[in-house]
Protein backbone atom coordinates (compact mmCIF):
# COMPACT_ATOMS: atom_id res chain seq x y z
CA UNK A 1 0.00 0.00 0.00
CA UNK A 2 1.30 3.45 -0.87
CA UNK A 3 1.49 5.79 2.12
CA UNK A 4 1.37 9.03 0.14
CA UNK A 5 0.80 9.54 -3.54
CA UNK A 6 -0.50 12.79 -5.00
CA UNK A 7 -2.09 10.87 -7.86
CA UNK A 8 -3.95 8.51 -5.54
CA UNK A 9 -7.72 8.85 -5.70
CA UNK A 10 -9.88 9.06 -2.59
CA UNK A 11 -12.81 6.72 -2.00
CA UNK A 12 -15.15 9.59 -2.84
CA UNK A 13 -13.38 10.25 -6.17
CA UNK A 14 -13.48 6.56 -7.05
CA UNK A 15 -17.17 6.36 -6.14
CA UNK A 16 -17.96 9.15 -8.59
CA UNK A 17 -16.42 7.26 -11.55
CA UNK A 18 -16.78 3.63 -10.48
CA UNK A 19 -19.72 2.76 -12.72
CA UNK A 20 -18.02 4.30 -15.76
CA UNK A 21 -14.82 2.44 -14.85
CA UNK A 22 -16.62 -0.90 -14.59
CA UNK A 23 -18.47 -0.24 -17.84
CA UNK A 24 -15.20 0.58 -19.66
CA UNK A 25 -16.26 4.17 -20.29
CA UNK A 26 -13.28 6.01 -18.79
CA UNK A 27 -9.95 7.34 -20.02
CA UNK A 28 -6.75 5.31 -19.64
CA UNK A 29 -5.11 7.47 -16.94
CA UNK A 30 -8.20 7.52 -14.72
CA UNK A 31 -8.72 3.80 -15.31
CA UNK A 32 -5.22 3.08 -14.00
CA UNK A 33 -5.71 5.32 -10.96
CA UNK A 34 -9.08 3.69 -10.13
CA UNK A 35 -7.59 0.21 -10.57
CA UNK A 36 -4.73 1.10 -8.20
CA UNK A 37 -7.24 2.34 -5.62
CA UNK A 38 -9.39 -0.80 -5.93
CA UNK A 39 -6.29 -2.95 -5.41
CA UNK A 40 -5.59 -1.20 -2.10
CA UNK A 41 -9.08 -0.40 -0.77
CA UNK A 42 -11.17 -3.31 0.43
CA UNK A 43 -14.32 -1.20 0.88
CA UNK A 44 -14.26 0.18 -2.66
CA UNK A 45 -13.33 -3.24 -4.03
CA UNK A 46 -16.41 -4.71 -2.35
CA UNK A 47 -18.52 -1.91 -3.82
CA UNK A 48 -17.16 -2.70 -7.28
CA UNK A 49 -17.86 -6.41 -6.82
CA UNK A 50 -21.41 -5.65 -5.68
CA UNK A 51 -22.04 -3.43 -8.68
CA UNK A 52 -20.75 -6.13 -11.05
CA UNK A 53 -22.97 -8.76 -9.38
CA UNK A 54 -26.02 -6.52 -9.71
CA UNK A 55 -25.20 -5.78 -13.34
CA UNK A 56 -24.77 -9.50 -14.09
CA UNK A 57 -28.03 -10.37 -12.34
CA UNK A 58 -29.90 -7.73 -14.35
CA UNK A 59 -28.33 -9.03 -17.57
CA UNK A 60 -29.52 -12.56 -16.75
CA UNK A 61 -33.02 -11.36 -16.01
CA UNK A 62 -35.56 -12.04 -18.73
CA UNK A 63 -37.69 -9.12 -17.60
CA UNK A 64 -37.04 -5.43 -17.22
CA UNK A 65 -36.00 -4.41 -13.71
CA UNK A 66 -38.70 -2.80 -11.63
CA UNK A 67 -38.68 0.91 -10.88
CA UNK A 68 -38.02 -0.01 -7.25
CA UNK A 69 -34.95 -2.09 -8.17
CA UNK A 70 -33.58 0.73 -10.33
CA UNK A 71 -34.14 3.22 -7.51
CA UNK A 72 -32.27 0.97 -5.05
CA UNK A 73 -29.38 0.70 -7.52
CA UNK A 74 -29.32 4.50 -7.96
CA UNK A 75 -29.36 4.97 -4.18
CA UNK A 76 -26.49 2.49 -3.85
CA UNK A 77 -24.44 4.39 -6.43
CA UNK A 78 -25.16 7.73 -4.76
CA UNK A 79 -24.11 6.40 -1.32
CA UNK A 80 -20.92 5.02 -2.83
CA UNK A 81 -20.17 8.29 -4.64
CA UNK A 82 -20.75 10.22 -1.40
CA UNK A 83 -18.17 8.06 0.38
CA UNK A 84 -20.61 6.14 2.55
CA UNK A 85 -20.26 2.44 3.26
CA UNK A 86 -22.14 0.81 0.37
CA UNK A 87 -23.24 -2.08 2.57
CA UNK A 88 -25.39 0.05 4.83
CA UNK A 89 -28.64 1.80 4.06
CA UNK A 90 -29.13 5.34 5.24
CA UNK A 91 -32.18 6.20 7.29
Distance CA 60, CA 77 (A): 20
Backbone φ/ψ region at 65: left (φ over 0), alpha (ψ -120 to 50), beta: beta
For the chain, the domains span: 11-81
Closest CA to 9 of 42, 33, 38: 33
- Which residue, 57, 68, 54, is CA-closest to 22? 54
pLDDT tens by residue, 23-51: 899 999 999 999 999 999 999 999 899 98
Q: Give the pLDDT band of residue 91 (cuts 50, 70, 90).
A: very low
Amino acid sequence: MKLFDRNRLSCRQVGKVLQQFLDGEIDHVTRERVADHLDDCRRCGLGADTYLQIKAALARSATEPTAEALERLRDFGERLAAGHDPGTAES
